[in-house]
Structure 1
Amino acid sequence: MLYSSSLLAIVGGGEQPSLSPRRLCLFNTTTGTALRELNFLTSVLAVRLNKKRLVVVLQKKTYIYDSNTLTILDAIDTVPNVKGLCAFSPSLDGCFLALPSSTTKGSVLVYNVMELHSHCEIDAHHSPLAAIAMSFNGMYIATASEQGTIIRVHLVSEATKSYSFRRGTYPSTIFSLSFGPSTQLPDILVALSSSGSIHVFSLGLAINQRGRRSNSFLGSLLPDSVNDAFDPAHHRVLHNAVPAGVKSNVVVRKVDKIADTGLSEAVACRATLSVITFNGHFLEYTVNINTQNESKWSLESEFNLLAVVSGEEQHFQLV
């Protein structure tokens, strides 16, 4: 959906021709009518859009359209992208698209979708990518490899590493990454792993301070495995947020800053996280972080989306 407008992009997930995964339908939720359909030779794996651009990701090609006229502006040949990995910054001032650029290592291509040219390529990990996210303003990109132990944040303008977070010691698949919704410097970065845990990493001004340290002369002489050790994660984790192994997406819906009252339990930051699983469950959590850097989690709501639409026979896929 385009922000809070009535424009919705739908990709079929059924066997009927009208619900083909090779068809993208732009739908007006207010009038209940289809505005336009786009058909492709292979399945649509991901769709991203803002007020100016529509991005459609296929396995070996990514198309960029003008959102208003649906004119094809560019077609990017990519490495096989079977998971449909991509990240898109909706801001028109820093509107970037990130795509995997290798199947053997964690390299990512950053493309300027407004000016229609490649911006940079970042070698983020030694293993292939599992998840990518971009901040709202396109300033930062976060990546996780198939190992899932380290999450790295790079400054897009300079293609330099700004921060590294250690999720854990043992490998785990990162299903989803999400920055806070701030249009300025992102507040937090959230990851959801195959273990069913949600990880919250604090960013703020530390992202620049750590970045200067890791890009210093000493930092440049050390391998990544040692250099990352200079970046202790401001890390909170909620175990068993969703069932282990269930593919899920997490989004940071809002982050509220609370004034310090001087009390030990004063909340300095409150983040609201929305989670949707691929078996239809929706959950909303809040995490309160006080001035002592302690956190408290609360489950605010939970319901089954499939139960809400149990009478419907149409099937769609999350892209």
Structure 2
Amino acid sequence: MSNQQSLNPILCTAFNQDNSCFAIGTSDGFRIFDCRTGKLRYERAVGAFGVVEMLFHTSLLAVVGAGEQASLSPRRLCLFDTVTGTALRNLNFLTSILAVRLNMKRLVVVLLEKTYIYDINSLEIVDTIDTVPNVKGLCAFSPSLDGSYLALPASKTKGSVLVYNVMELQSHCEIDAHRSPLVAVVLSFDGMYIATASEQGTIIRIHLVSNATESYSFRRGIYASHIYSLSFGPSMDLPDILLASSSSGSAHVFSLKRALNQRRKRSTTFLGSIVPDSVTDVLDPAHHHILHGAVPTGVRSNAVIRKMDIVNDKSISANEILRATISIISYGGYFLEYSCSINQQNEVSWTLEREFNLLTAKAETNTTSNSRD
């Protein structure tokens, strides 16, 4: 890791909806990896790509170029089939495409001041949302069809977020989460919770989407830091943990269920009855675990909680351990996978399980394409 290039060779990264695979885009093409095995499953060397999005385990990709030639224009979205190696459909826009999101029913395309929602089967536009200038293409999308929400910035001057129901095609709510503009936002898989971070990067807030109420506030640190990514744990009810990666190079794990349990205990005390939960949650460091130096300082990263398990520590009677598998893509060109274990005494241990270079990995011979059509 110490010999990483000073200029990030990776232009974009994206995990698929269940975090079992991920894609990277570079100045040479794009590559798709299997998170479970670390194998390079597919690559295509046809020029620069700024957006590469997968649809679960299907062969469908949504890709956007980052080159000067017409076929790789940042204003053209290509729906691509990795099995046949052919373009299924091209969608052209007047301005650059900043982000793309998919689920089994909807295709979302984010531009600077407009967001288009398509029926993914017919590729007909079903709605258009006018937005505040969204220079970074910031958005979040919950892939579950039961709670399929889209989150977009709602203000240029403060951290407000618009939550839109893409199946019912109507605005659900607007949440004023921070005083400073947003830099990171994520929805839980089922769309039940939304987590946000602002330009200050000191406080991360979690809201319940159904009624737009704040559920948790966590302090990441005292000094400002840029939050690169947020990820909920893969749970169908209350996620156990939330993960954040930042410009400090650290990975931050926040224990949601531990915070909930302590909140319930605190509510039975005299002090707990008069001190707001949102205040005490922020000030309590017991919910926060940090891995310093997860990636080099200042190198952009994309981190997700790939899976979680509850295991029993046989050395201690009736002691359950929450074990999270955390996958991190460093834009410096590396993939890292850590195991984070938290026991009932709130003691944490980190183990680096895997690390490999994303740019030198070799693909399986039957999945590689180097054509320049």
Output the TM-score relative to the length of structure 1.
0.89
Q: Give the length in aligned residue pairs.
A: 310
Corresponding residue to 2:325 among 272, 276, 280: 272
Which residue in 2 is equivalent to 1:13? 66
Corresponding residue to 1:30 among 83, 97, 100: 83
Is 1:162–1:207's contact at 8 Å kept on the other side of the alignment? no
Q: Work out the CA distance in 2 between the residues paired with 1:306 and 1:13.
A: 18
Q: Percent identity?
A: 68
State the AA in 1 paired with 2:175: I
Check if 1:58 corresponds to 2:111: yes
Q: Work out the CA distance in 2 between the residues paired with 1:64 and 1:217.
A: 45
What SS class does the counterpart of residue 312 from structure 2 fall into? coil
Is 1:164–1:228's contact at 8 Å kept on the other side of the alignment? yes
State the AA in 2 paired with 1:11: V
Check if 1:144 corresponds to 2:229: no
Residues 149-168 of structure 1: matches in 2 within 5 Å?
Answer: 149-168=202-221
Q: Work out the CA distance in 2 between the residues paired with 1:210 and 1:38.
A: 49
The worse-fitting range, judged by mean Cα deviation, of 40-49 and 227-236 is 227-236
What SS class does the counterpart of residue 306 from structure 1 fall into? coil
CA distance change for structure 1 residues 30 and 207 in 2, over 3 Å: closer, same or farther?
A: farther
Output the TM-score relative to the length of structure 2.
0.77
Q: Work out the CA distance in 2 between the residues paired with 1:305 and 1:184.
A: 34
State the AA in 2 paired with 1:298: T
Deviation by residue 1:162-183 (Cα, 9 ceiling, x = unmatched): 0011000000000000001112
The worse-fitting range, judged by mean Cα deviation, of 256-265 and 70-79 is 256-265
Corresponding residue to 1:99 among 149, 152, 159: 152
State the AA in 2 paired with 1:170: Y
Deviation by residue 1:215-260 (Cα, 9 ceiling, x = unmatched): x99567x9x7x46546555111111111111111111110111135
Check if 1:202 corresponds to 2:258: no
- Structure 1: unaligned runs, 5 residues or longer: none
Check if 1:45 corresponds to 2:102: no
Cα deviation for residue 278 of structure 1 reads: 2.2
Q: Which structure's relative contact order is higher, taking Cα pairs within 8 Å and 6+ residues apart? A: 2
CA distance change for structure 1 residues 208 and 10 in 2, over 3 Å: closer, same or farther?
A: farther
Which residue in 1 is equivalent to 2:34? none
What SS class does the counterpart of residue 248 from structure 2 fall into? coil
CA distance change for structure 1 residues 138 and 314 in 2, over 3 Å: closer, same or farther?
A: farther
State the AA in 2 paired with 1:204: K
State the AA in 1 paired with 2:240: D
Is 1:23–1:39's contact at 8 Å kept on the other side of the alignment? yes
State the AA in 2 paired with 1:186: P
What SS class does the counterpart of residue 128 from structure 2 fall into? strand
Cα deviation for residue 52 of structure 1 reads: 0.6
Which residue in 2 is equivalent to 1:178? 231
Is 1:265–1:291's contact at 8 Å kept on the other side of the alignment? no
Cα deviation for residue 184 of structure 1 reads: 2.2
Cα deviation for residue 308 of structure 1 reads: 3.0
